[in-house]
Amino acid sequence: MDFQILYLINGIHFDFLDRLMVLITHMGTKGIFWILVGVALLLFRKTRLCGLTVLIALLLSLLIGNIALKNIVARPRPCWIDTTVNMLVAVPKDYSFPSGHTFASFAAAASIFLYYKKAGAAALILAFLIGFSRLYLFVHFPTDVLAGAVLGIGAAAVSQYLALKFSERNKKLNIS
């Protein structure tokens, strides 16, 4: 079923969308966009807790997704299996499950949503588009992207808990 969905998506390619999906996918590369968002949020007292939550969530996505799960599951990418598909991006060298772009994007976006609903909704739309771009570009299976989204949302919840505990501890010590 994963390949059926990918082939269906692959049938909607056209030049403008190809360029757009490449641009969107690059926004999720190495989580740099989301790291910059997290750091920017840390700069202002009003958004500092949200920024801390974003950065903790990104760290969790790196540790759980890219370092642990990808190597434990060791799932080949669809572009490794079906090499006849025209690739618009370089073929990734790491494993497919879960989608790291999606995991990091949903971890950061859901973290923002926990504090700021409107900005968080916009961030979640971007996270969805980044996840979809991974399917469009034939570098992930739909289940990789779905798992990345679910894990990212979970990482955001855990990160908010950790950030609040850290913040409470610092207030007690007058570090803030």
pLDDT, tens digit, for every residue of 5-36? 999 998 888 999 999 999 999 998 888 999 99
Residue 159 has pLDDT above 80, yes or no: yes
41-94 pLDDT per residue, tens? 999 999 999 999 999 999 999 999 999 999 999 999 999 999 999 899 999 999
d(CA 158, CA 154): 6
* pLDDT at residue 61 in the model: 97
Q: Give pTM, 2 decimals.
A: 0.91
d(CA 59, CA 120): 19
Name the residue among 9, 63, 6 with its Cα closest to residue 31: 63
Q: Which amino acid is at 152?
A: G
Q: Could you tell me which residues come within 8 angstroms of residue 55 by beta carbon, excluding any fewer than 6 positions away?
A: 35, 38, 39, 42
d(CA 51, CA 85): 39
* pLDDT at residue 167 in the model: 82
Q: CATH for 2-172? A: 1.10.606.20
Assigned token pair, 26: 């690059």
Residue 173 has pLDDT above 70, yes or no: no
* pLDDT at residue 11 in the model: 87
Q: Where are the domains of the chain?
A: 2-172
